[in-house]
Structure 1
Amino acid sequence: MRKGQHKKNLTDGECNNLVQHLLTRCTSSGKLPKGVAEDMGKLFDCTPTTVRRIWRRASVDLSDSKTICATVHQRKKGQSGRKRMYTDIPERIQAIPQSRRNCFRSIAYALNIPKSTLHVYFKRGVIAKYSSVLKPSLTESNKVCRLNWAIKHVTDIDRAKYFDPMNDTVHVHEKWFFMTRLQKKIYGAPGEKIKQRSCKSKRHLLKVIFLSAVARPRWDQAKGEWFDSKIGTWHFTEVVPAQRRSCRRDAGTPAMKTVTVTRDTYKAMIIDNVIPAIRSKWPSDETKRVKIQQDNARPHVPPSDAAIVAACKAMGWDMEVVFQHPNSPDLNVLDLGFFRAIQTLQVEKHSSSIEDIVAATDAAWAAVSTTTLNKNFLTLQRCLQEVILDTGGNDYKIPHMKKDVLLARGRLPEMVSCERNAWSVGYAYLSRVDYAAHMEKLDREVQESMEMGVICTQIEALTIYNDTEVHDDIVAALGLVQLSE
C-alpha cells in the first residue's frame, strides 16, 4: 500500500484470520520472525504496522498457563469518526423542485455545498437515485375502464383470488427495429480505443416495423412437448426492382423496401399470417376460443370488420379480435420486456441494409427463450394488481418478483395471487361509478381516433401534381380570390 493511501479497516473475520496465519509463523516464544509482518501485510492488503499492532493485541502466550490469545475484534462501537458537517441534507433536497434535481451540479448549487461533498453523501446512502419514466396521460374514463379490465382477469380458486393465466389470449403488437442505437455502452480494457460509429443522418436510420404475436408458454399434452407460444413475427416489407444504381447493386436488381402500415396492410397481415399461424401452432387439445388482443392504434382494424370476423370463424374456430384499453402499454406482454429482449440480441449484429435488419431480428426472435416470455406474463399479472391498487392509474413501478431465483428453486408460479383487500377496494370503487357512461365516452374517443386514422390514410395516398391549370380550376370552383404577386 502506498504512503498516504487509506484503506477500509479490517473486519473482525480478517483480524482473526490474520492472527491464525501469524500463529503458524511465530517462534516457540511467541515472537514474529523478521519479514513476517511485511509478508502478512501484502497478503491482507494492510501495512506491517497494522499487522504488529493486531499481534500485540492478541497477547499470544504459548506457555499453557492461560488462553493462547485474546480477542482481536474491532473496538469501534456504533458511529465513529468525525461528525457530519451537514445533517439536514434529505430535508433540504426535498425542498428543491424535482425539475432541478437532474445532476449533482445543480443540486450542489441549490444547497450551496461543494459537489464533491454531495457525492460523498450519495455514496453513504444519504441521497437516493430514482428514475422517472414518461407515461401516458389517463382520463377518468381511462382509469375506470383499466380497473374493470384488471378485475375481470381475477378468478376464484379454492376461495383465493388469482389472476387469469391467459392461456386463451394472443398478444399482437408492432415494433420498430433500427439498424443500430444512437447511444450504447461498450465495455473494454483500460486505454482501448473504441471503434467510431458514423452515419449520414441520425434522423434517417434504416428501420423496419415488425408485427409479433405471442401466447402463454405451456405444456402441449397432445404433442408431448412444450408449446413455445411464439406464434410468429412478420415484417412490413416488399421486394421491388431498384430504381437507381448504387455501389451495392445495379438498377433493376430486386431490393427490399419498407411498406407504410395502413389499415389495409394491417388487415392483410392479420388475415394472411397471424390467424393461420395460430391455427397451425395452437395446441390441438385446447379450446379454439382465442382472443387476439391488440391496442387501438389508428391502422388497427376494428373487431367488427366483416373480413376479420369471417377469418376468425373459419374452419371451426371461434377467434375474436379485442382492443386493450387506450393509453395502456402496460397491459400488453410484448411491451413488458419481450421486445426489449429481442432488441438486445438484434443490435448485437451489424446491420447495414433492410435485409440485414430483417435477418438479425428473425434470428433474435428464434434465440429468445420461452422462459423469458413466461416471466413477462407473470410481470403482466403483477401489473394488473398494481392497476387495481392504483384504482386504474399507472402511477406505479413495475414490481419485481425475483423470478430468476424462484425459477432456479423450481417455485416459479403459473398464476400470481391477487390481494383480497386490493380486489375488494377496486370492486367497491367500480360499484360507485357509472361504468357504462365511462365506457361509452371511451368508445366514442376510440371511434373518433380510428376515423381520423382512415382520413390520414386517404391523405397519404393522395398524389400532388404541379399543374397550373388544375390549380386555376380549383380556385375558380371554390370562388377564391387569387392574390397578385
Structure 2
Amino acid sequence: MEEGSRTTMFLSSCRKNLVVQFLLKHSIDGVLTRGAVMEAAEEYGISRKTVYRLWNKAKQQMQRGEPAIMEGKVKGYHHSDKFSLDEEKVRALSTLERSSIRKMAHKLSVSKNTLGRVQFESMHNVVHIDEKWFYMTKTSDRPVFGLDGQTKFDGKLGIFPFTELVAAQRKSKNRAKGTLETKPISSVNKSVKRDCIINRIVPAIKAKWPEWASKEIYIQQDNATPHINGVDAEFEAVAKSDGFKIHLICQPPNSPDTNILDLGFFRAIQTLQHEKPCNNVDTLLENVCSSYEELSPQTLNKVFLSLQACLTEIMVFRGGNNYKVPHINKARLERTVGLPNALDVDEDLVRDVLEYLQQPENNAGCGYDIMALANAFGF
C-alpha cells in the first residue's frame, strides 16, 4: 500500500472476537495491561482506535452481565437458490461413509464443492501439558503425517521428571550413608511449574517445532493452583521471542477429557512402563522415558481424534461432562480409508450451541465459553 493511501477493512465477526479475546487475555480486572492495545493493533492489522472501540463495546456487554460477543456488519450475499442437503439422507450414512468429503459426496450424489462441512481445526499448534504420577507397581502437539504416510512430526516434545538428588540419611545394604539418590520433589508449586515451563517446555518447543508449522502456539494446562497465568512476565519474555508467539490457556474446569494426556496418552505410556522391571526411582524414570519414546505417533493421533469426539459430546450435553467417551471405530478406519486429520461436526449442532451460549445464564456456568467454541470451528 502506498504512503498516504488508506484501505477500508471490513472486520468479520470472527476477527472482531479474536481481537476481544486477545484483549481479555491481556487484562486484569477489566483493565488492559500496558501495551496491549498497540500489540493487538499490530497483531490484527487494525488501528488503535478500532481496538479501543471493540474493547469499550466488550466492556459494556460484560457490565450488563452479557458475554462479550462481536458481530460483523457484512453479513454476506444471500443465495436464494442455495442447494439444501436432505438431512435424513445425511443422518442415514454410516460413520465410515461420512469419513471423507469424497465418500459423502458420492453417497449423496452431489459434488465435493457443493458438500460444505464444519470441521474441527487440525490442532497442530496446540501443546498439552500436565503432571502425572508414575508408580513402580500397578495401582504435546499433534503428530503430522505426509501424503505417503511417513511421520513428519511425531507430536512429542518431551517428558520432564519432577525429581531431585538427595543424600541418603543413613546406611543400608544397598548404599552407603551420603549416597545421592533420586527422589520425587516434595511439592510441585508455582515456582517449580514456572521453571519447568520457561526453562524446559518452551525451549523444547523451539528446538523441535517444525520449520513449516505456525509459530503461534497454544500451551493448554489444567486449572491447578500452581499453574502460572498467560500474563506472567517471565513467561512472556521467552514465549514471545525467536519468532514464536506462545500463549498459555486453561482447559475448562472439571473437563479432564479435553486434555489428551488424561484422555489416553498417560495410560498408553503406563501400559508400556508396567511391562518393564523396576526396583528404584532411577529405573522408574528410565522406564517411563523409554516408554514415552516407544509410543508411536499413530497412537497419539488416535487420542487427538478421541479428544475431538469428546468435544462434540460436550456440545451435545451443553457443556456437561455426564457423557460416555464415544467410540468412533478408529482401528477400522485406519485399516480401510485411513484416519482423518479432523472429525466432521454437524453444523446445526454448532450453531445451536452458539445460540445457547449467547444466553448469559447459560454461558456463565458452561465449561466452554462462546469464544473458545467459536474459535474451535473457525466461526
Asked if TM exceeds 0.5, the reply is yes
- Structure 2 Cα separation of the partners of residues 424 and 372 of structure 1: 31
Counterpart among 344, 347, 355 of residue 282 in structure 2: 355
Q: How many angstroms does 1:425 deviate by?
A: 2.1
Cα deviation, residue 435, structure 1? 6.6
Q: 1:230 aligns with which of 125, 147, 156?
A: 156
The alignment status of 1:170 with 2:97, answered yes or no, reads no
Mapped partners of 2:174, 2:272: distance in 1: 26
Residue 324 of structure 1 corresponds to: 251
Partners of 1:310 and 1:296 in 2: how far apart?
22
- Counterpart secondary structure, 1:166: coil
Report 1:165-244 matches (<5 A).
165-182=122-139, 214-219=140-145, 226-244=152-170
Query: Which of 251, 255, 269 is the aligned partner of 2:177?
Result: 251
Equivalent position of 1:266 in the other structure = 193
Percent identity between the two aligned chains = 39
Letter in 1 for 2:279: S
What CA deviation, in whole Å up to 9, does each residue of 1:400-419 have, x standing for no partner? Answer: 11111111124211110101
- Larger RCO, structure (CA 8 Å, separation 6 or more): 2
Tell me what 1:446 maps to: none
How far, CA to CA, are the matches of 2:331 and 2:363 in structure 1? 41
2:320 is matched with 393
- 1:319 aligns to what SS in structure 2? strand
What SS does the corresponding residue of 2:118 show, helix, strand or coil?
A: strand
Counterparts of residues 267-306 of structure 1 (less than 5 Å): 267-306=194-233
**Helix, strand or coil for the counterpart of 2:183?**
strand
Shift of residue 349, structure 1, vs aligned partner? 1.5
SS of structure 2 residue aligned to 1:320: strand
Tell me, what secondary structure is at the counterpart of 1:233?
Answer: coil
The residue correspondences of 1:8-47 to structure 2 (distance < 5 A) are none
TM-score of the pair, normalised by structure 2? 0.63
1:394 CA drift (Å):
0.9
Distance (Å, rounded) in 1 between the aligned partners of 2:151 and 2:308: 25
Partner of 2:340: 413
Question: What SS is found at the alignment partner of 2:174?
Answer: coil
SS state at 1:302 partner = coil
Q: Is the 8 A contact 1:220 1:227 kept in 2?
A: no
Counterpart of 1:306, as a letter, is A
Contact 1:170 1:215 in 2 (8 A): yes
Contact 1:161–1:417 (CA under 8 A) maintained in structure 2: yes
Equivalent runs, 1:140-151 vs 2, <5 Å = none
Provide the rounded CA distance (Å) in 2 between the counterparts of 1:229 and 1:390: 30
RMSD: 2.3
TM-aligned CA deviation for residue 304 of structure 1? 1.3
Counterpart contact for 2:167–2:181, Cα < 8 Å: yes
Are 2:301 and 1:374 equivalent residues in the alignment? yes
Instruction: Give matches, 1:323-342, under 5 Å.
Output: 323-342=250-269
Per-residue deviation, residues 30-62 of structure 1 (Å, max 9, x unmatched): xxxxxxxxxxxxxxxxxxxxxxxxxxxxxxxxx
Inter-partner Cα distance in structure 2 for 1:435 and 1:392? 9
C-alpha displacement at 1:353, in angstroms? 1.0
C-alpha contact 1:220 1:283 (8 A) present in aligned 2: no
Q: Summarize the Cα distance change of 1:402–1:436 in structure 2 as closer, same or farther, 3 Å threshold.
A: closer
Query: How has the CA–CA distance of structure 1 residues 220 and 411 changed in structure 2, closer, same or farther, with 3 Å as cutoff?
Result: closer
Q: Give the 4+ runs in structure 1 shifted more than 4 A.
A: 434-439
Classify the secondary structure of the residue corresponding to 1:268: helix
Counting only pairs closer than 5 Å after superposition, residues 77-96 of structure 1 correspond to structure 2 as none
Query: 1:274-305 deviations in whole A, cap 9, x for unaligned?
Result: 00000011110121100000001111111111
Q: Which residue of 1 aligns with 2:291?
A: 364
- CA shift for structure 1 position 220: 7.1
- 2-structure distance, mates of 1:402, 1:307: 44
- The code of the aligned residue for 1:232 comes to G
Question: Between Structure 1 and Structure 2, how many residues are aligned?
Answer: 253
Q: CA deviation at 1:438?
A: 5.2
Q: Give the letter aligned to residue 404 of structure 1.
A: A
Using the alignment, how far apart are the partners of 1:398 and 1:436 within structure 2?
23
Are the structure 2 counterparts of residues 273 and 253 from structure 1 closer, same or farther at C-alpha, using a change threshold of 3 Å?
Answer: same
| Distance across 2 between alignment mates of 1:334 and 1:379 | 11
Residues 355-398 of structure 1: per-residue CA shift (max 9 Å, x gap): 11101101110111111100000000000110010000011111
Contact 1:216 1:374 in 2 (8 A): yes
Structure 1 residue 243 displacement after superposition: 1.9
Give unmatched runs, 5+ long, in structure 2: 1-68, 70-112, 370-379
Tell me which residue corresponds to 1:187.
none
Partner of 1:291, secondary structure, is strand
**Change over 3 Å in CA distance of 1:239–1:394 after alignment to 2:** same
